[in-house]
A and B are shown apart, each in its own frame.
Chain A
């Protein structure tokens, strides 16, 4: 078990390093940084001054190690546009994105697991068919458009929730639904197929032969085993949602990491973009690592490995 965790952590660390190299190359690819920081009206002397100030005159490798050393200490340098520490900006925006992501995941799990279980239990019924229809349409709906449609329906027509802003919890409802809806189909299909498979298992027959109540058979014996792969998927989906927050936060004008990233991208503020890509990648890496460990906890057979 511990060897397994150690090995996975090692892989995670090296993946993180590779991604940081990629992020840094992104910065280098963006052309002459001093020029873009200075803007079109900067004189040659001003550009040169910026070059020295930001350390852009030093060799690439030195720049990379400096940046990486900073990144390890959670210092991602200064933003060109906001003229403040990147980390301060990130720390300010992160709570909104995390709230959004976790809410979206909660909604996705809250819809997909019960629906998947009922669909499997009542296979072929109208509930099953409705669930499959939701899965098929959910996968085909562009999430920014779904978000805009939610705004039209629930913010403009019905006026139940605000169309934008993260000042109150109501502001999070629509974006979380829009983000969570995208992750629902895959998790629901997995719950359903997992339940169908598990319900055929011999140990379910054993449980029934013991005279256990239907609820105990379904929830204790079947769901526990069917839900193991869903947990892994949920962690991965949360990672995707954090990445996808750039779209939803832009649509709903939420002041989160995604919106910050979009603003930074449109202003060529690369230190910020770099930092956010790396942070979201790190989240994904940690989440998949956690999913593996959680899987091992849920499935005793994996612990031996």
Chain B
């Protein structure tokens, strides 16, 4: 009741404060978001601090020490907590360095494809008509292309490397960004503040960058998390099939491919990098789900 007597400014400050604490509270209440954020942050730290965290050089071969099982086996030892691979390289160190590859490719691919998809989608949504028809056509064509197959073929042409995989996936995975940006912009086009900006004679780049983009950013961030996860899975797939990141890089997909021959007798050689991939992608998806719930609490179906 006292608030009604306080001056408007104070009331506003009170509102801002409660907005922030509300955001914090809803973040903490959102279990998906909390778990996802926690795992992602720790894996990000692992990637950044890899040289200090890794117990061994991930590329150092030791033929005397091949296929040492992980610690939970009777013959395991703390020297190599997750064992060694067929060339005697420390599995834990390779796993730690592999985090860098997955996260780098995931983030850069999402950045490139986000740039392409958002540009196309915003233009299609804002101008409609012929621009929209062209973008929709590009989108249909892109969706009809089998991603894994095209990426495999192109990677084999360009020669598999981290750079070529990143570029390829960046050029291929823009579809969802375009779809979301297009429909979100369509809804915004008729919004009053956009029309006001048009009436005031604001320049087109100003309207698109200052009025449209900030308002569709929330939806795009959710798409971005999904695409990071998607790119990480695709990189692993390409590397697994031998057309992605090349040996001796410790890509998780490559580790699974290299372990495939031994998996019948030493299943941990594929279980460990596979679980790492699973946990990383799962946490990104949880983060994405959580962000979606946060940005659209009413649209939640749970």
Interface string of B213-252 (1 = CB under 8 A from A): 0000000000000000100010011001111000000000
* Stretch of A57-65, A277-285, A296-304 contacting B (4+ beta carbons < 8 Å): A277-285
A15-55 CB mask vs B (1 if < 8 Å, else 0) is 11011001000100111000000000000000000000000
Of the candidates B147, B156, B264, the one having the most CB atoms from chain A within 10 angstroms of its own CB is B156
**Distance (whole angstroms) from the CB of A202 to the closest CB of chain B:** 20
A281 and B264 contact, CB distance less than 8 A: no
Known: A139-B281, A239-B146, A247-B240. 14 other contacts (CB 8 A): A18-B137, A19-B145, A26-B153, A142-B278, A144-B236, A149-B274, A152-B267, A242-B146, A244-B146, A246-B146, A266-B156, A273-B149, A281-B146, A284-B146
A137-B282, A142-B274, A193-B301 known; A262-B241 Cβ under 8 A: yes
Tell me whether B144 and A276 are in contact (CB under 8 A).
no
* B 119-156 binary contact with A (CB < 8 Å = 1; else 0): 00000000000000000010011011111111011101
| Number of residues on chain B facing chain A (CB within 8 A) | 42
Known A246-B152, A265-B156; contact A144-B146, beta-carbon cutoff 8 A: no
A-B pair count, CB < 8 Å, reads 130
Asked if A30 and B157 sit within 8 Å, CB to CB, the answer is yes
Complex Cα gap A189–B154 (Å): 33
- Write out the residue numbers on chain A whose beta carbons fall within 8 Å of the beta carbon of B282: 136-137, 140
Tell me the complex Cα distance, A19–B144, Å.
8
Once the chains are docked, how many angstroms separate the CA of A242 from the CA of B236? Answer: 19
* Chain A residues near B289 (CB-CB < 8 A): 136
B93 to chain A, nearest CB (A): 21
Tell me whether A261 and B149 are in contact in the complex, defined as CB-CB below 8 angstroms, given that A142-B253, A144-B237 are known contacts.
yes
Indicate if A87 sits at the interface (CB-CB under 8 A): no
- A142 near B233: Cβ-Cβ < 8 Å: yes
Q: Is B263 an interface residue (CB 8 A)?
A: yes
Residue contact B146 to A148, C-beta cutoff 8 Å: no
Q: Is the CB of B301 within 8 A of A277?
A: no
Q: Are A18 and B141 in contact (CB under 8 A)?
A: yes
Q: Look across to chain B and name the residue whose beta carbon is closest to the beta carbon of A21.
A: B141
Q: Which 4 A-B pairs have the closest CB atoms?
A: A243-B146, A140-B282, A145-B274, A140-B281
> Cβ of B185 < 8 Å from any Cβ of A?
no
With A192-B301, A266-B156: A246-B145 Cβ-Cβ less than 8 Å: no
Is the C-beta of B99 less than 8 angstroms from some C-beta in chain A? Answer: no
What's the least CB distance linking A6 to chain B, in Å?
A: 16
List of A residues within 8 angstroms of B286 by Cβ: 136
Q: Specify which of A15, A136, A273 is in contact with B140 (CB 8 Å cutoff).
A: A15
